[in-house]
């Protein structure tokens, strides 16, 4: 897995109607050409690449350095591809805020267009949302969830969280063909410039023992878990500990602990997927696992010192020129053939030419 960085300051407001209308049309035509050249699965791969996604937003004319590029580009895709499943083989569900919670219903509504059981797609949508809100706790509150899928069951997820403390957003990219386990390093990429805060990374590979212990704890009685938390609150935690007990109240979590006790989840993925099991439940169980059973979870930030194409100074690895060139070529080729108005095409190509020039300058300095 490679993670990417993008400076995404939180910006309010929305794209003006005149711009969004053009973004919708241009996004549709670019996707149609990519599908005709490479197939719908390639669109999912491109969208799961944070650098390509960012460039796509720039080509469509949106601010490159705004958190709104995520929600606006996904919205333009959803509106631009609406009703075109037969032509493009792609369906876009979800969106920002309350719209994100309608994703399962939108997936099920497309059942007649699918060659697979929609239940698996609904599960993928729910698990990706649960992982980025409770399995990976990094200080960014998820507020956007877009689920893009094909009738054959391939999918990609683009989620975004906000951190009001540092005024930044963080984008999470998922791709079905690279997900081997929903709770073990599942992301295709995580794009963020600002570091996370009070991180609890239960989906890191290093958190394997913690996941096992947490799952076993979830099968204990609520009384046992609540008593364990009470005992932990009375001890002096080491200063290195990054997860605080201050906001964990066992009396408020008793209902969740009762649900896990009654369901007896066999593994961490099942536990994470249970209704009512959220960030505080997982955090409480992970604390007990670490301080009582000596199975600490990872507190690593999945985006720290990571770049989509490498760094010009060779850190953490040299620039991947082949992948970088391929990203630019796909965009340039798609735009050259896009069936859009001449004026829009020329403006888009000028923006892409600027992106390519910057890429060449970057590569030349590596």
Residue 130: the pLDDT is 97
pLDDT digits (tens, 9 = 90+) for 10-41: 555 566 777 788 888 888 888 988 898 899 99
pTM across the whole model = 0.79
Phi, psi of 191 (to 5 degrees): -105, 120
Tokens of 212: 């096992």
Q: According to DSSP H, which parts of 140-207 are helical?
A: none
Considering only CA atoms, give the Rg of the chain: 22
Report d(CA 235, CA 290) in Å as an integer: 14
Tokens of 63: 């601010």
Find out whether 204 and 302 touch, Cβ atoms under 8 Å.
yes
Report d(CA 260, CA 275) in Å as an integer: 9
Q: What percent of the chain has pLDDT over 90?
A: 46
pLDDT digits (tens, 9 = 90+) for 113-126: 999 999 999 999 99
Residue 197: the pLDDT is 82
Residue 45: the pLDDT is 95
Report d(CA 58, CA 175) in Å as an integer: 22
Tokens of 129: 């949302």
Find out whether 47 and 156 touch, Cβ atoms under 8 Å.
yes
Report d(CA 259, CA 271) in Å as an integer: 10
Cβ-in-10-Å burial (0-12, 13-18, 19+) of 241 comes to middle
| H/E segment holding residue 225 | helix 222-233
Q: Is the pLDDT of residue 3 over 60?
A: no
Cβ-in-10-Å burial (0-12, 13-18, 19+) of 234 comes to exposed
Residue 366: the pLDDT is 44
For the segment 75-102, the average pLDDT, to the nearest whole number, is: 94
Residue 242: the pLDDT is 44
């Amino acid at each position: 897995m490679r993670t990417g960085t993008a400076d995404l300051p939180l910006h309010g407001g929305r794209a003006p109607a005149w711009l969004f209308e053009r973004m919708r049309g241009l996004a549709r035509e670019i996707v149609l050409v990519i599908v005709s050249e490479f197939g719908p699965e390639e669109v999912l791969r491109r969208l799961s690449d944070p650098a390509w996604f960012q460039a796509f937003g720039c080509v469509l004319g949106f601010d490159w350095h705004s958190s709104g590029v995520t929600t606006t580009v996904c919205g333009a895709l959803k509106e631009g591809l609406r009703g075109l499943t037969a032509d493009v083989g792609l369906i876009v569900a979800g969106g920002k805020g309350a719209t994100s919670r309608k994703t399962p219903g939108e997936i099920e509504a497309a059942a007649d267009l699918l060659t697979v059981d929609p239940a698996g797609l609904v599960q993928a949508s729910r698990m990706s949302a649960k992982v980025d809100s409770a399995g990976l706790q990094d200080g960014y509150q998820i507020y956007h969830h877009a689920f893009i899928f094909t009738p054959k069951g391939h999918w990609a997820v683009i989620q975004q969280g906000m951190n009001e403390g540092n005024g930044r957003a963080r984008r999470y990219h998922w791709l079905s063909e690279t997900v081997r386990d929903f709770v073990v390093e599942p992301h295709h990429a995580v794009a963020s410039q600002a570091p996370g805060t009070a991180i609890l990374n239960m989906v890191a590979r290093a958190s394997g023992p913690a996941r096992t212990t947490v799952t076993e704890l979830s099968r204990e009685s609520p009384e046992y878990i609540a008593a364990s938390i009470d005992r932990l609150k009375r001890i002096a935690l080491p200063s290195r500990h990054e997860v605080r007990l201050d906001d964990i109240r066992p009396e408020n979590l008793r209902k969740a602990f009762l649900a896990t006790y009654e369901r007896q989840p066999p593994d961490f993925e099942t536990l994470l997927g249970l209704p009512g099991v959220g960030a505080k439940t997982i955090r409480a169980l992970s604390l007990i696992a670490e301080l009582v059973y000596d199975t600490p979870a990872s507190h690593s930030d999945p985006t720290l010192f990571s770049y989509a194409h490498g760094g010009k100074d060779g850190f953490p690895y040299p620039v991947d020129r082949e992948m970088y060139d391929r990203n630019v070529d796909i965009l340039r080729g798609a735009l050259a053939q896009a069936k859009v108005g001449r004026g829009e095409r020329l403006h888009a190509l000028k923006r892409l030419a600027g992106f390519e020039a910057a890429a060449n300058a970057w590569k030349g300095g590596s």
